[in-house]
Amino acid sequence: MTEMVYGALPVQDGEPILPKWWRTLDKWSMTSILLLFGIGILLGMAASPPLAAKNGFEPFHYVQRQVVFGGVAMIAMMLTSMMSPTLVRRLAVLGFGVTFIALIGLPFFGTDFGKGAMRWYSLGFASLQPSEFLKPGFVVVAAWLMAANEEINGPPGRLWSFMLMITIVLILAMQPDFGQASLILFGWSVMYFVSGAPMMLIGGIIVSIYPIARFAYANSEHFARRIDGFLDRSVDPTTQLGYATNAIREGGLYGVGVGEGQVKWSLPDAHTDFIIAVAAEEYGLILVLVVIALYAAIVLRSFFRLMRERDPFIRLAGTGLAAMFGVQAMINMGVAVRLLPAKGMTLPFVSYGGSSLIAGGIAVGMLLAFTRSRPQGEIGDILRGHVR
């Protein structure tokens, strides 16, 4: 598959890597990511002591681990953001192959840690969730295939990417991990739409979601239990959703005060899936709005910069990464306020979790690499040229 950069001007040679990286980087997005990580550390200091006490560790045991994992994630993000799109693509293809094999091996060598879903490998000192690392690799591979589809005598890349997506979604659904399966399906659908898919086909995919959901409800106790809990009008105050709902209500506009929240003592996943409930209770709606604004800034700035990109592969891959990043955050917060069924999905860079942090660092590193300024003019120049 050939590179597809149309009308790009040659890049200046001889400029040192770091100054060039800093000059071309989207600094607003980078700042927003670092702020989210800092907020995650702040909330971890509030949410993790109860779990640490329960497991016999020092009060800030999990905070220290999050700092270590986060440090690795930040390094991975910066190194990845310095790469060229071609190098990102090559490493993503390699990483996708490795994580896909790891995903297939989960039923034989994985563990569920008592949560009813076979999603992790236990490494002793930590756990590894292959699906977290699979997502950015899949987006880049799917974008590469879709872009190649537009070449003269190119392969049927859209069909291949569709078959690959269906395979991954089915494997994830069997774990079961419907949250990650939904993210993969959503990311692919966004890229497929941007690549120029017929609206009838997009509509067919949307319509097919209902019978698939009915089948999953009828054949998966795990899925049915979460849907029933979401549809039930009454919220059991002793469930995770009940505790989270009460915490958000108690927090109000300004919160109950630093360290004064009670939900962290009741929620087993207060430091991961329901970290936003801790933020709402102790710091109030103000901090929650700041978190939402930071995610929105990253996604919107990425979209605006990608709109000027001439290379179809970069546009598709960047769009898929940005959309998946934003929707994951939206799903996590939507579950906490009971707008969506429970998914078991972390809040990027804020929730505790080694796999989530490091994989997220790689994913946004790819996004920053794709949204760096390149001396190629704007895509609008091509359109104006055709008009003339």
- Domains of the chain, residue spans: 17-375
- Model pTM? 0.87
Kindly report the CA angle at 331 between 30 and 65, in degrees rounded to 5?
55
Range 216-222 average pLDDT: 71
pLDDT of res. 11: 46
pLDDT of res. 238: 62
Q: Which of 11-15, 47-51, 129-133, 228-232 has the highest mean pLDDT?
A: 129-133
pLDDT for 99 beyond 60: yes
Q: What percent of the chain is predicted at pLDDT more than 70?
A: 88
95 band by pLDDT with thresholds 50, 70 and 90: very high
pLDDT of res. 8: 44
In terms of Cα–Cα distance, which of 118, 97, 116 is closest to 106?
A: 118
- Separation CA 349–CA 35 (nearest Å): 9
- Separation CA 263–CA 267 (nearest Å): 6
For 64-89, what is each residue's pLDDT tens digit?
Answer: 999 999 999 999 999 999 999 999 99
Range 9-21 average pLDDT: 69
336 band by pLDDT with thresholds 50, 70 and 90: confident
3-state SS, one letter per residue, for the chain: CCCCCCCCCCCCCCCCHHHHHHHHCCHHHHHHHHHHHHHHHHHHHHHHHHHHHHCCCCCCHHHHHHHHHHHHHHHHHHHHHCCCHHHHHHHHHHHHHHHHHHHHCHHHHCECCCCCCCCEEECCCCEECHHHHHHHHHHHHHHHHHHHHCCCCCCCHHHHHHHHHHHHHHHHHCCCCHHHHHHHHHHHHHHHHHCCCCHHHHHHHHHHHHHHHHHHHHHCHHHHHHHHHHHCCCCCCCCHHHHHHHHHHHHCCCCCCCCCCCHHHCCCCCCCCCHHHHHHHHHHHHHHHHHHHHHHHHHHHHHHHHCCCCCHHHHHHHHHHHHHHHHHHHHHHHHHCCCCCCCCCCCCCCCCCHHHHHHHHHHHHHHHHHCCCCCCCCHHHHHHHHHC
- Separation CA 49–CA 275 (nearest Å): 13
> Mean of the per-residue pLDDT values for the chain?
85
- Separation CA 52–CA 70 (nearest Å): 19
pLDDT of res. 236: 59
Range 304-312 average pLDDT: 92
pLDDT of res. 66: 92
pLDDT of res. 215: 76
Range 333-361 average pLDDT: 87
pLDDT of res. 7: 42
213 band by pLDDT with thresholds 50, 70 and 90: confident
Of the given ranges (188-197, 314-323, 358-367), which has the lowest mean pLDDT? 188-197
